Structure 1
């Protein structure tokens, strides 16, 4: 098999057996082909890679490409998974990434919108199909905490308007229910009326041409609205997911419930949001408690 055949076989297994999302498959493909290109330039095939080659590649990413630590870690993790599969298939005798430790990551808390910032976002006016769709995306992401890939895959048949909930298919093809508010239901009704006048498609969120909304359009949408609101902070679909989880915990939701609503397999993934809440508590204490203030009056 050629190196490209090995990559393709791995991606197909991850898609069909592991249930990886198309977004994850595309990311795996980019990372593996980038690594293959580097290795081929050295005159080496993927099955002949040694640990020393891997160390050179990591230095290349860090020093020459100047990738951020999170990016380097993701690429290392992808390649480690790929070679683990090759070892199981007996294509390789050992995994050259097995003893490679990821870069130590600093503890970066996720960006979160304040309650007032969310209110400002969701109170923006809409007047046509495009703006109604954009506001529905924002409203649903904040109401449900969905991943953007999950939101893009929602079909009208997945929505249960009588109980204000939506059936979504998450990572690993695991189904769960998420819930939305009456305010979003009103916006949803208006949007669907306009959508049905224009298109006959099962997908809920569509482009101006009636196709499943592209990720590039979503990226431009968030950038445009972030500028309109004058925000300096990062504003992405995942920021709304972070905000959803943090606001639930801030208002007393049980972390196990939040884990279920987010579709996290492990509670440890959800626990990052408890750290966000603790950071907020610390800031409130420092700002409001006389002995907590850094500057004495």
Structure 2
């Protein structure tokens, strides 16, 4: 069993599971196709699910278990996941780790696989291809009656809630951020206006790589008055919209939102527009960031290319460590807070739910969001002042 990428006639891409003869595993394919098409999840999500489900089905095949009822022995599957390397085949049915052996898969990887398996089996229960009792094997099933009144919802009716039974305790890791010095060094190491704009979109605007690669030329509204463009928002801003993009770029947030940008980002947009016109007078594709220096010229950059750019800039700038796009995003959020921004402002600016609650309760005004962005000084200025 293995994960396999599928491209539909419509151009939509998702991942499925195939057997050793590359025959599609129908039950897994229905689950993964529905995840992509009906639920609108990203292609990368179906890839993660397909990899997890393929491991589960491989374990069932290797140990002679029926995948529909194997959930009653999920603990053995977790042991197999931890110690069985690669595509172990049928010889991996008995796992005996020796003294001093290192786990093949770390806790975070095991938990991701278990999440995929739970979703797969839950889909099977819904479709009635998996016995209903399996639900109690993978979830602790309860209701909302024991919750505080404020958390029971407005309907007043009883609702079921599910809590995963099988989960490995993950070691706590510090969430790091890129420092202003690192961002400035990466910015200086850029060799094109396009790369400088990319660094600012990551570290100054706080976009995810998929959101940066998915921007279209119509998304930035850099005029103070955007009404001629059919937009009633004031000031320079960028619209973040989830789309089915040909380069696979995907915005994690389902809800579109507009992100205010400051003069540094506007200048970077202007410089990139001149560079793009010089390199591609015909314009290229409708995507904002495109290939300018290697073929296929004019094609959109990919999410992977943005990660590779950060790796290259980190090395070229001599930072001594890899500064990732996620660290740049954390830098943006931290700078907003350091400049006096509030949690709800960060929440709205990053296009995410309140990190301390399952639903956002605070809604900052657009004017306050713009003020939050304008309060953050130039990273170059911050570095200069701190060096004096």
Could you tell me the TM-score, scaled by structure 2's length? 0.62
Q: 1:183 aligns with which of 261, 264, 275?
A: 264
Please identify, of 251-260 and 15-24, the stretch whose mean Cα deviation from structure 2 is larger.
15-24
Unaligned runs of 5+ in 1: 271-297
The 4+ residue runs of structure 1 with deviation greater than 3 A are 43-46
- Kindly state the Cα deviation for residue 201 of structure 1 after the two structures are TM-superposed: 0.5
Secondary structure, aligned partner of 1:8: helix
Structure in which a larger fraction of residues adopt strand? 2
Deviations 1:19-70 (A, max 9, x none): 2122222222222223323322333453242331x32222122233422211
Q: 2:130 aligns with which of 69, 92, 110?
A: 92
Contact 1:111 1:233 (8 Å CA) reproduced: no
Matching residue of 2:49: 28
Matching residue of 2:147: none
Structure in which a larger fraction of residues adopt helix? 1
Contact 1:111 1:234 (8 Å CA) reproduced: no
Contact 2:237 2:259 (8 Å CA) reproduced: yes
Matching residue of 2:284: 200
- Kindly state the Cα deviation for residue 262 of structure 1 after the two structures are TM-superposed: 1.4
Secondary structure, aligned partner of 1:144: coil
Matching residue of 2:31: 10
1:241 matched to 2:333? The reply is no
- Kindly state the Cα deviation for residue 3 of structure 1 after the two structures are TM-superposed: 7.1
Question: What is the root-mean-square deviation in Å for CA atoms of aligned residues?
Answer: 2.4
Matching residue of 1:64: 84
Deviations 1:94-149 (A, max 9, x none): 235335331112221212112222222223353xxxx3322221111112211111
Unaligned runs of 5+ in 2: 1-22, 86-103, 140-163, 224-234, 242-250, 359-388
Matching residue of 1:141: 202
Q: Distance in 1 between matches of 2:357 and 2:25?
A: 33
Q: 1:125 to 1:154 in 2, by over 3 A?
A: closer
The structure with the larger Rg is: 2
Q: Distance in 2 between matches of 1:84 and 1:118?
A: 44
Matching residue of 1:230: 318
Q: Distance in 2 between matches of 1:156 and 1:250?
A: 32
Q: Distance in 1 between matches of 2:306 and 2:236?
A: 24
Residue correspondences, number = 264
Could you tell me the TM-score, scaled by structure 1's length? 0.79
Secondary structure, aligned partner of 2:218: helix
Matching residue of 2:377: none
Q: 1:50 aligns with which of 71, 94, 104?
A: 71
Q: 1:111 to 1:233 in 2, by over 3 A?
A: farther
Q: Distance in 2 between matches of 1:72 and 1:16?
A: 26
